[in-house]
Amino acid sequence: MKKGVLVCLNCGSTRLKRTTFLMGIIPQSSYVCEECGFESPVMLEVFPEQNRDE
Ligand SMILES: [Zn+2]
């Protein structure tokens, strides 16, 4: 499995912080951008090296 890099959906920064909060009794994780403050449970994942056999 390849490791991707998470980038902010709002500004494209890779400086994301993962936070966990409780939604009722269910723990949910979310990402917060340290650049623009954008928060989302899902961020864009990019794979810089795409050397798959074509
Ligand atoms: Zn951002």
Q: Give me the pLDDT at residue 49, please.
A: 74
- Predicted pLDDT of residue 48: 77
- In this predicted structure, what is the pLDDT of residue 23? 85
Let me know: does 9 contact 48? Beta carbons within 8 Å.
no
Q: How far is the CA of 53 from the centre of ligand 1 (A)?
A: 33
Q: Return the beta strands (E) in the chain as ranges.
A: 5-7, 16-23, 26-33, 39-40, 44-46
Domains of the chain, each with CATH number or no CATH: 5-46 (2.20.25)
pLDDT for residue 50: 66
For residue 22, give Cα distances in angstroms to 25, 27, 28.
6, 4, 6
pLDDT of residue 47: 87
For 54, half-sphere exposure in the C-beta direction (CA atoms, 13 angstrom radius) is: 2
Give the per-residue pLDDT at 34: 97
Q: How far is the CA of 19 from the centre of ligand 1 (A)?
A: 15
Residues whose Cβ atom is located within 5 A of ion ligand 1: 8, 10-11, 13, 33, 35-36, 38
Shortest CA distance to 31 belongs to which of 46, 21, 42, 44?
A: 42
What spacing in Å lies between the alpha carbon of 25 and ligand 1's midpoint?
Answer: 28
Per-residue pLDDT of the chain (54 residues; tens, 9 = 90+): 778 899 999 999 999 999 998 989 999 899 999 999 999 999 999 987 766 666
